[in-house]
A and B are shown apart, each in its own frame.
Chain A
């Protein structure tokens, strides 16, 4: 696998509009910076190998490395990734209430993980005026402030980089599939740096079909309402095909087709819906409002969930077979679309250029 530098990163990812702004390249050097939901390079760097390139979820990735790191085995192509169990879940009776997106499983488990000492810090995502604002949290009672989904692509991984720099050894992260993939790559220490101290992590992945570009999202919202009045956002299950903005007084519906127009190009290449590179993955429970779908992927995840259940922090239910089928379908659909799009892109790159720029390819994903 070839690791290149920032120039190739720009050439392959940024200049092809494939950057999803996850923040993996931010916070490790003085050159890549995140601002208002976008990642940009400030001054040029002439290194031929860099962590920016190695960490980016859009560049060549060895899935076996990621799988070995997380699951202690090579990558197996499965529609919804490696998993131990799937539940229907929501915050238990002992959990603190909050304005959760769905069942509050994420917030509750992160809090629980910190209170149990599994993590000393958590990388979570808030927003200010609709601009994603990832932060490092070290007090468990602050975790609740981060509940609810910000649909904007967020440079959350930059804060994971920062947490490592600050010396945190047990870091919890909530993130989307691209963010989790980047974290897997970071943990694999791709440049074999001696000084890299791999932190313990507890990774909660979020299901994701796409995120939206922050600046365009703000523009779209501003055309609908005063954005300071927006209290929450949601995507009701199909066949609704709408995005709902809730203010104190009204619910504004935006056709999903309008939202899809402002999805970063990079999202269309993503083959992961259920967030495979995490200890547990959480999404909405289709058809059951106030509940989550919870996929337990690792031993670590399983242990935490078992104690959360037994201590009354998490309520779970069997996940119906037909829902598994449905989830699998959705997941396979995204994989197919993502891979087809990647293929198409690689072709167009080969055509319109003299071979210097190569499209990012996937190793281990056949």
Chain B
């Protein structure tokens, strides 16, 4: 029995935020869902895909977020209920289509769910979804707890149906990946029948052509929809006030920060002095509701993560309302009480509150604090962020780094997004020298490869994963070829989207739901582009390095596909290629001539430096038997035996 396939109305369950979101979409009568993996959003499509057949949903992992939004929009244009799912950077990718979609309007209810990652717990940015709502002029709603995650998701479809435009739902890591109690609701029937009407009057939003032109007319319509949203939001049950009738200080907050604010107020026993207005509908703001609460207090603290989105909108409203509600004193990002980077937590809110309200607060006993920090410092060993044992990326970066150093022309490698982004760190031999958005490594390399005109003689390498290749590395590769750039592109093909949890991609024979699917062969694609391609096994260090040397020294664009399945992939897990052992009598240890090449440099977690014997040993439990360490051992002490 699964809550994702059964009715179970009224039952209570402990659900992860992302599961609550899925249930909300199912209750709304979803038909179509498309997305591209990205933490913390990935479980949504994964869960929907798992039950897609039972629920008669169409669910796909799209090649990238823009296409995901387009696929979902096709569902909406066909009259179905559709959902697109992505992490925030994906919204940047999809934004061009979104600009046009928001102006053309939708037909069947359509929701865009974006997951933000304040504090960049699993990202390399603190990108903001909220400002897109303002930029794209579409409604934004933000659940503040697990029940709301389900309820607001369901409501988002109703709202979209009412205004005939896409509705943006924003979640954050701490909501998506934490769990709480959720009471289930009624499941609506799916629409189930698709038809795209297109022969009506050209401006008919439900039967004509779907487009953003004529621009002034459509743009105007879009703004009318937004006004309608503001009216609806005035009465939304997701905007909640808790606190005294006339608080000394009003906190205005949204999303998961509501929980931080509540906890902070309670820790300070300030319930009688502070009121909290939690907004679920954060764009457009309902002006009357805001006026009603602003009027209650003279001091306003705005609690939100990263940029001052709410703070700025509320200040604009307060300025307009000043004649009726009087001047207010604002606290938040502008005065520095709430930081503009990193995620928040109750402590930060407590600190802000105690300074505003003049309440002394000691989070913990000084002595305790001191001892805790001592224990943390001395008690926990320093550990490097590194690749898993037997990770093909370690072997690949070992070869890339070695070749570039030996080549001795100050060559460098442009990085990209995936597990292999760790090639930036010492665990990846600090090989990567640039790291930006998906596909940007090869785009940058394409540019660097043209700097020869200005005397640059450094060899240029880019890396990208197999999923990233399809997502956004093909256009820069085409660009490099067409513009006669000079670079070596290395596709680190580990047969899956590893970083986000092995989601399939177009290079694999399986789709999101596990059904068989045509696979697109990366080397053939590159060959089709007319570029020289070779495929090597990164565990074969000698062959990889030989090929890479050849490419580093040749002109033009060359592609090296380093193909070896991820050590953690379900297909490979637990299967050893080799049984490894180290001959103590041959191991040079820390002596001149080796100096712990395996444990210090290669630093696979499967290798242990034995402090007593001053020799390396294999940790049989962790070693997956890739055999790579045997190839880097200068004295032949590491032996591999076919498993």
Is B truly associated with A?
A: yes
Judge whether A45 is part of the interface by a CB distance below 8 angstroms.
yes
Residues of A within 8 A of B405 (CB): 33, 40-43
The number of residues on chain B lying at the interface, defined by a beta carbon within 8 Å of a beta carbon of chain A, is 18
Question: What CA separation (Å) do A207 and B476 show in the bound complex?
Answer: 53
Residues of the B chain whose Cβ atoms lie less than 8 Å from the Cβ of A116: none
Point out the residues of chain A lying under 8 angstroms from B632, CB to CB: 30
Interface residues of A in 173-194 (CB under 8 A from B): 191, 193
The reply on A302 being an interface residue by CB < 8 A is no
Residue B406 CB within 8 A of the other chain: yes
Instruction: Please tell me if the beta carbons of B401 and A38 are within 8 angstroms of each other in the complex.
Output: no
In the assembled complex, the Cα of A46 lies from the Cα of B599 at a distance in Å of: 13
Would you call A43 and B601 a contact (CB within 8 A)?
Answer: yes
Q: Is the CB–CB distance between A46 and B595 below 8 Å?
A: yes
Name B409's closest neighbour in chain A (CB-CB): A215
Contacts of B601 in A (CB 8 A): 30, 43-44
| B634 interfacial by beta-carbon distance below 8 Å | yes
Residues of B within 8 A of A47 (CB): 590, 592, 595
**Chain A 24-45 interface mask (CB, 8 Å, partner B; 1/0):** 0000111101011010111111
Q: Tell me if B197 counts as interface (CB < 8 A to partner A).
A: no
- Cα distance A299–B632 in the bound complex, in angstroms: 43
Residues of chain B in range 411-431 having any CB-CB distance to chain A below 8 Å: 429
Contacts of B549 in A (CB 8 A): 35
- Whether a CB of chain B sits under 8 angstroms from the CB of A51 is yes
A43/B402 in contact, CB under 8 A:
yes
Q: Which residues of B contact A36 (CB under 8 A)?
A: 407-408
Q: Is A49 close to B, CB under 8 A?
A: yes
Residues of A within 8 A of B99 (CB): none
Q: State whether B402 touches A51 (Cβ < 8 A).
A: no
Q: Which of A80-116 contact B (CB under 8 A)?
A: none
A50, CB-defined interface residue at 8 Å: yes
The chain A residue with its CB closest to the CB of B402 is: A42
Interface residue SS majority, chain B: helix
CA distance A38 to B549 in the complex (A): 14
CB of A29 within 8 A of CB of B634, answer: yes
Interface centre among B429, B595, B601 (most CB of A within 10 A): B595
Residue contact B593 to A51, C-beta cutoff 8 Å:
yes
Q: What A residues does B325 contact at CB under 8 A?
A: none
Minimum CB–CB distance for B455 against chain A, Å: 14
Asked, given contacts A43-B401, A43-B402, whether A29 binds B593 with beta carbons under 8 Å apart, the answer is yes
| Total number of A residues with any Cβ neighbor in B under 8 Å | 21
Chain A CB within 8 A of B594 CB:
yes
Contact of A35 among B401, B408, B597, B600 (CB under 8 A): B408
Inter-subunit contact B408/A28 (CB<8 Å): no
Alpha-carbon gap, A36 to B592, bound state (A): 25
Closest chain-B Cβ to A80's Cβ sits at a distance in Å of 35
Q: Are B597 and A30 neighbours in the complex by a CB distance under 8 Å? A: yes
Q: Mark B580-595, 1 if CB is under 8 A from A, else 0.
A: 0000000000101111
B429 touches A51 (CB 8 A): no
**A43: nearest residue on chain B (CB-CB)?**
B601
- B contact residues around A28 at 8 Å (CB): 592-593
Residues of B close to A46: CB separation below 8 A: 595, 600
Q: Looking at the complex, which one of B406, B593, B595, B600 makes contact with A42 (CB distance below 8 Å)?
A: B406
Shortest Cβ distance from residue A304 to the other chain B in the assembled complex, whole angstroms: 33
Over the window 391-413 of chain B, the binary record of Cβ atoms lying under 8 Å from chain A Cβ atoms (1 yes, 0 no) is 00000000001100111100000
CB-contact partner of B406 in A29, A33, A44, under 8 A: A33
Given contacts A30-B594, A30-B634, A42-B402, contact A35 B407 (CB under 8 A): yes
Query: Which A residues are in CB contact (< 8 Å) with B406?
Result: 33, 35, 40, 42
**Alpha-carbon distance between A13 and B601 when the two chains are bound, in angstroms:** 23
Are B429 and A43 within 8 A (Cβ)?
Answer: yes
Known: A42-B401, A43-B401. A51 touches B592 (CB 8 A): yes
Residue-wise, chain B 110-130 has the 8 Å CB interface mask toward A (1 for contact) of 000000000000000000000
In the assembled complex, which residues on chain B have CB atoms less than 8 Å from the CB atom of A50? Answer: 592
| Alpha-carbon distance A193/B593, docked complex (angstroms) | 11
Within 207-254 of A, Cβ neighbours of B (below 8 Å) are at none
| Set of chain B residues within 8 Å of A49, measured between Cβ atoms | 592
1/0 per position for B204-240, CB-CB distance to A under 8 A?
Answer: 0000000000000000000000000000000000000
Interface residues, chain A, with chain B CB atoms under 8 Å away: 28-31, 33, 35-36, 38, 40-47, 49-51, 191, 193
Report the 4 A-B pairs with minimum CB-CB distance, sorted nearest first. A35-B406, A30-B634, A42-B405, A38-B408
Interchain residue pairs with CB less than 8 A apart (7): A28-B592, A36-B408, A44-B601, A46-B595, A47-B595, A49-B592, A51-B592
A31-B595, A33-B402, A42-B405 known, 10 other contacts, Cβ within 8 Å:
A28-B592, A29-B592, A35-B406, A35-B407, A35-B549, A36-B408, A40-B406, A43-B405, A45-B595, A47-B592
